[in-house]
Amino acid sequence: VSHKVYVGFQQSTGATETVVSKHEVEIDAKSCGVDLKSFRADNGIFKPEEFRIDLDDKDQRIAFCGVGAHHQNGVGERHIRTFVEKARTVLLNAHARWPDKIDLELWTFAIRHVVNQWNNTPRADLNYQIPDERFNRIKQGNVNRKRHFQNFHPFGCPVYVLEEDLQGNVKHPKWKPRTKVGVYLVSTNH
């Protein structure tokens, strides 16, 4: 309905880490006033007893796709493909432009970047609302569009960060650089 996407990364396929990831999604949804009642998943990491107990404790349901039946969760599978392809594109573009600073190990940041763009870009099928607005049930008029897009920058572009001593009231030598160069990974303001 909203087309909002939430991405979380795990280092293992263990039940404990999967339950922690589920809780992160629930916290994000709850902060928007949304209670998650059901899930659709492949069998894999969502089958363990620990995960099922957590579902039962919260009166939630889960529907599993058949083995090898990715078409049963076509929307989810298509989103995975879309975000991996977009992340690959922005990461390889940034690496081509700044190869000594952009490491291909930054793929998780690239995925977060494209998901952030997705969730904060108006969509015709949502009546030109952004997925975050629809999910959060915010009216379009409540979002300052010009300010909203000021934080969108190309993934991996150089950014200039004010030196720490200038952020306070400490005197700074006149000929010393006032900034250091960093790499833009993803906005945390959205």
**pLDDT value of position 153:** 86
Instruction: Please provide the average confidence, as pLDDT, over all residues in the chain.
Output: 85
Residue 189: pLDDT band (50, 70, 90) is very low
Provide the 3-class DSSP secondary structure of residue 97.
Answer: helix
> Which H/E stretch holds residue 166?
helix 164-167
Range from 80-89, 96-105, 146-155, 171-180 carrying the lowest mean pLDDT = 146-155
φ, ψ of residue 84 to 5 degrees: the values are: -65, -45
- Per-residue pLDDT at 190: 42
Q: What is the mean pLDDT of residues 167-180?
A: 81
Question: What pLDDT, on a 0 to 100 scale, did the predictor assign at position 155?
Answer: 92
Assigned token pair, 176: 């010393």
Does the pLDDT of residue 92 top 80, yes or no? yes
Calpha distance 108→79 (Å, rounded): 15
Residues 123-168 pLDDT 10s: 899 888 889 888 887 765 555 666 667 778 889 998 888 887 777 7
Per-residue model confidence as pLDDT tens digits over 16-67: 999 999 999 999 899 888 899 998 887 778 888 999 999 999 999 998 887 7
